[in-house]
């Protein structure tokens, strides 16, 4: 009896040991980093901003553990491409760990190590350990960090788009009743652009009119968008993808190799439609939207000046919510998929430059910056959303508190929904991504401000995209369907 009992206890202990070690393995920590012989310093870019500063202790912990100094250069996101591109192209090795925005991954793929190769070289668990770690990450976000099927970078934080609504206003019985009376259906987060237009018109109000039974002390706008020459293309993407079209259609053969880039007639027509619609939507937005970036949208929603932000980065939610709590007592933000259900997505990621003098330390720093531990910390302390399902599940289960719990659930759902279509999109298959992306910003803006007609802008964009694509990506020709 005693013998059997001891056996049972031993079995239980073994089972506990096995499960706990499996858990530890899936949650990679600094203890998993082997002793590094190469102590040459690592240089990397960290974005400016208070939120990103929360990564500094993470980097310091890496240095403490490995003995490898890390030089951190703080650069605003808009300056990252220019700085890194020069160093990478010249092969200076200035940046060991490279900060990569989604649309540049393929463009820089010849200048970055494939992470699998580095894992095989430096990771005791070889590439299997890396794959195990990646199994905890969002497949759609991982896909945005691939080039020709190879994982080049791992996501540090994601920029999935979302739609914000003022949840407290949407839940208000008076507003709900008035909306239903006027439009004949329930007030709920818009699933289509038509519904959005109804809501935008409904909530655009003048000072003195009522909101939630109280008179407004300022003008109220139904929408808030970022139509300035900053990231108007991302908002347009969130409108374009749900039409089933893209900026450029990527044509692949049976083996998955890209044979052609084509701007189809349907792509052009879809772009004309969504740009016209976007321009039309500006009637329910503040005139300031024409020179606005995302910070303007955050301020508009946070200050209670607008009710819906149809296309905004989910990672700004905590920031906007912080302002809203202060400025509008009882104010609450709800996050939903953008109308049409295919929000723009991607991530700011880290990869390893081929010109680095310390690829081993660079590899482990990338692994640590994108780990569960770092991701959870960045999410909870800075509101930046890592591309990790395990972090989202932990927060969703253990801390389903507004707004982090809400954001975690949103991301789990949206990653499932977007996983299928992401790998085929143009941005994630072109070597001219950085150039075409930035050019779009400037070419699109005149359509929204009315400086040019939508037709003119689409023609300009078509011509310039073909020029840039053919100039900077020689893998396959880019043509216009006539």
Query: Residues interacting with another protein, by CB under 8 A?
Result: 81-82, 85-86, 89-90, 110, 228-230, 286-288, 290-291, 296, 299-300, 303, 305, 434-435, 438-439, 442, 445-446, 449-451, 460, 468, 471-472
Instruction: Output the smallest distance, CB 281 to another protein, in A.
Output: 17
Question: Checking phi first, is residue 450 left (phi over 0); if not, alpha (psi -120 to 50) or beta?
Answer: left
Decide: 348 and 159 in contact? Cβ < 8 Å. yes
- Our CB check for another protein shows the closer of 212 and 327 to be 327
Nearest Cα residue to 225 out of 314, 298, 334: 298
- Our CB check for another protein shows the closer of 110 and 269 to be 110
- Our CB check for another protein shows the closer of 396 and 465 to be 465
Residue 149: other Cβ atoms inside 10 A = 9
Q: What is the bridge-based pairing of β-strands 258-263 and 478-480?
A: parallel
- Our CB check for another protein shows the closer of 67 and 82 to be 82
- Our CB check for another protein shows the closer of 137 and 290 to be 290
Instruction: Output the smallest distance, CB 204 to another protein, in A.
Output: 14
Query: DSSP assignment of 68-127, as one string?
Result: --EEEEEE-HHHHHHHHHHHHHHT----SEEEEEGGGTTTTTTTB--HHHHHHHH-TTHH
Nearest Cα residue to 322 out of 15, 50, 20: 50
- Our CB check for another protein shows the closer of 134 and 225 to be 225
Instruction: Output the smallest distance, CB 189 to another protein, in A.
Output: 24
Decide: 167 and 332 in contact? Cβ < 8 Å. yes
Give dist(CA 62, CA 407) in Å, integer: 28
- Our CB check for another protein shows the closer of 18 and 90 to be 90
Which distant-in-sequence residues (6+ apart) come within 8 Å of 125 by Cβ?
119, 132
Backbone angles phi, psi at 263, to 5 degrees: -90, 105
Give dist(CA 370, CA 400) in Å, integer: 23
- Our CB check for another protein shows the closer of 418 and 430 to be 430
Instruction: Output the smallest distance, CB 86 to another protein, in A.
Output: 7
- Our CB check for another protein shows the closer of 388 and 435 to be 435
Instruction: Output the smallest distance, CB 372 to another protein, in A.
Output: 35
Q: Residue 260: which H helix or E strand, with range?
A: strand 258-263
What is the torsional sign of CA 453, 456, 461, 464? negative
- Our CB check for another protein shows the closer of 296 and 364 to be 296
Instruction: Output the smallest distance, CB 445 to another protein, in A.
Output: 4
Instruction: Output the smallest distance, CB 301 to another protein, in A.
Output: 12
Q: What is the bridge-based pairing of β-strands 146-147 and 150-151?
A: antiparallel
Instruction: Output the smallest distance, CB 129 to another protein, in A.
Output: 33
Give dist(CA 154, CA 364) in Å, integer: 12
Give dist(CA 118, CA 350) in Å, integer: 14
Decide: 165 and 189 in contact? Cβ < 8 Å. yes
- Our CB check for another protein shows the closer of 375 and 434 to be 434
What is the torsional sign of CA 256, 259, 261, 265? negative
Q: What is the bridge-based pairing of β-strands 153-158 and 347-352?
A: antiparallel
- Our CB check for another protein shows the closer of 279 and 409 to be 279
Tokens of 171: 């839940």
First-last CA distance in the chain: 85
Instruction: Output the smallest distance, CB 327 to another protein, in A.
Output: 12
What is the torsional sign of CA 51, 55, 60, 61? positive
Give dist(CA 339, CA 342) in Å, integer: 8
Instruction: Output the smallest distance, CB 245 to another protein, in A.
Output: 24
Overall residue count recorded for the chain in this entry: 482
- Our CB check for another protein shows the closer of 11 and 82 to be 82
């Amino acid at each position: 009896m005693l013998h059997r009992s001891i056996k049972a206890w031993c079995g239980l202990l073994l089972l506990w040991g096995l499960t706990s070690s499996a858990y530890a393995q899936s949650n990679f920590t600094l203890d998993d980093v082997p002793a590094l012989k190469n102590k040459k310093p690592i240089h990397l870019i960290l974005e400016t901003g208070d939120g990103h500063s929360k990564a500094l202790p993470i980097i310091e912990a890496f240095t403490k553990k490995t003995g490898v100094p890390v030089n951190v250069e703080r650069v605003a996101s808009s300056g990252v491409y220019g700085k890194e591109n020069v160093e990478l192209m010249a092969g200076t090795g200035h940046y060991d760990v490279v900060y990569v925005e989604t649309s540049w991954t393929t463009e820089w793929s010849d200048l970055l190590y494939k992470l699998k190769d580095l894992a095989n070289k430096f990771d005791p668990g070889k590439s299997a350990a890396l794959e195990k770690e990646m199994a905890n990450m969002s497949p759609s976000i991982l896909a945005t960090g691939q080039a020709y099927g190879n994982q080049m970078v791992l996501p540090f934080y994601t920029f999935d788009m979302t739609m914000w609504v003022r949840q407290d206003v949407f839940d208000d019985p008076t507003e709900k009743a008035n909306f239903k009376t006027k439009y004949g259906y329930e007030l709920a987060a818009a699933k289509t652009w038509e519904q959005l237009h109804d809501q935008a018109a409904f909530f655009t109000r003048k000072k003195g009119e009522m909101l939630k039974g109280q008179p407004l002390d300022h003008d109220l706008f139904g929408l808030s968008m970022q139509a300035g020459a900053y990231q108007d293309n991302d908002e347009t993407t969130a409108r374009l993808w749900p039409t089933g079209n893209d900026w450029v259609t990527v044509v692949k053969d049976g083996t998955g190799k890209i044979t052609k880039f084509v701007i189809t007639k349907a792509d052009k027509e879809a772009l004309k439609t969504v740009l016209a619609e976007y321009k039309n939507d500006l009637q329910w937005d503040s005139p300031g939207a024409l020179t606005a970036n995302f910070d303007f949208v955050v301020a508009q929603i946070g200050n209670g000046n607008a009710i819906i932000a149809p296309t905004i980065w989910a990672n700004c939610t905590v920031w906007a919510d912080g302002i809203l709590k202060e400025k509008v007592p009882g104010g609450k933000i709800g996050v939903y998929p953008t109308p049409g259900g295919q929000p723009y997505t991607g991530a700011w990621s880290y990869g390893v430059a081929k010109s680095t003098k310390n690829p081993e330390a660079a590899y482990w720093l990338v692994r640590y910056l994108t780990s569960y531990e770092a991701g959870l910390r960045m999410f909870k302390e800075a509101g930046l959303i890592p591309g990790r399902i395990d972090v989202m599940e932990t927060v969703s289960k253990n801390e389903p508190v507004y707004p982090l719990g809400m954001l975690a659930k949103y991301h789990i759902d949206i990653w499932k929904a977007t996983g299928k279509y992401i790998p085929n999109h143009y941005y994630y298959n072109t070597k001219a991504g950085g150039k075409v992306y930035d050019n779009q910003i400037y070419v699109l803006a005149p359509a929204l401000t009315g400086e040019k007609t939508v037709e003119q802008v689409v023609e300009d964009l078509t011509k310039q995209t073909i020029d840039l694509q053919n100039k900077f990506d020689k893998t396959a020709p880019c043509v216009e369907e006539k």
